[in-house]
Amino acid sequence: MRTLLMNLWSVSYMTMLDIHLDALNSGGTIYHEFLARYKKIDNKVVYGIVEGKEDPMFYRGLIERHLPHGWEVELIKSGNKETVLKTIDVFDWSRFSHKRICFFVDRDLSSFLNEESQEIDNLYITDFYSIENELANFGTLKRVLEEVLNITQLNIHEAEKLQHQFELNLNLFQSALSSVMAQIVWWRKNGCKPCLGNISPKDFFSFKDGSIRLKSEFEDNLDRVKYAASRVNLAPISEADLAQSEVEFLDKQGPKRFVRGKYVLWFFVECAVQLHSAICKFCESYTAPPKVKLTLGMGNAMTIIAPRLRCPESLSNFLDRNYGQFIRDMSINNGKQ
């Protein structure tokens, strides 16, 4: 009898857990959180639903730069893309303006998986794998070098040398990870969901004098693919399947667009730190790397780098069509009162 009761309790407990998880992932929980935060009287607030816990670090600054003085944005974290998309359907849109409440998701690998979301006016989908991929440009790197790593004595020629090295590094990094990403695409197409956080790009690469290079044991792309497979406890795909997946990845500009954003973030941080260490090679006025203003690492990268990210044109246009139009309409309506 005791065993029977324990089994019944276990089934009941698991059922309650399942119900709780379903509620969290249904979008209803996020909608209720929105309702708790919604300021009906204070009109100078717009709202955004984002995926992960770190997304507000990127989006808040980008959005606030597009808002007039006195306006603010309230961002709500949903946990994942699926919940963001479900929340759109849960909203009672007869009560709220589409243009005041926007949703922001990463594209991820949806371009390869037939998961492209339908076009919704107030849904923003990143141009690349994720918002982190927008870091991969010299403009952002130069700001980090100057404002964080204290490299402030560059002339035009020296800046060009640094830019050239950065672009060489980025091209090698993206190219080298293409085979790994192509394998990930194949896995996802075939129903596997590898934990991509277990694959660390630092295992593949090293730096010398500010220049990135593949470690000797990973110079062959098949070795990188096999190692990545071992990290996620999946079998590496066949060479034929890999070749076919790589063709598709290249056809869709995968190296520049669809390397996982967290991997790109690691590259950006490591490249910035390594260029700082090797600054004497690029700038004759330095006899040693200058003392940094802030220590930069993966632990604080989001906090430090996100405010220095330039707003993508697609996001700028999206914000203007939605929040911008809502604010303009509010201004007109208030003027008529």
- pLDDT category, 335, cuts 50, 70, 90? low
Specify the pLDDT at position 119. Answer: 83
Region 147-173: mean pLDDT is 96
The residue that leads in pLDDT, 165 or 285, is 165
**Residue in 247, 235, 263 with CA at minimum distance from that of residue 182:** 247
Region 187-205: mean pLDDT is 97
Alpha carbon distance 225, 212 (integer Å):
19
Q: Which residue has the tokens 């632990």?
A: 299
Residue 263 CB neighbours (<10 A) = 23
Residue 154 · residue 166 · CB < 8 Å: no
| pLDDT score of 282 more than 50 | yes
Task: Name the H helices within 191-286.
Answer: 221-231, 239-251, 254-257, 261-277, 279-282
| pLDDT score of 69 more than 80 | yes
- pLDDT category, 242, cuts 50, 70, 90? very high
pTM, to two decimals: 0.89
Specify the pLDDT at position 5. Answer: 41
Taking the CA atoms of the chain, what radius of gyration do you get in angstroms? 23
**Residue in 82, 75, 76 with CA at minimum distance from that of residue 27:** 82
Residue 283 · residue 217 · CB < 8 Å: no
Specify the pLDDT at position 26. Answer: 55
Q: Which residues contact 335 (CB under 8 A, 6 or more apart)?
A: none
- pLDDT category, 332, cuts 50, 70, 90? confident
- Angle of CA points 109, 114, 120, to nearest 5°: 90
- pLDDT category, 117, cuts 50, 70, 90? low
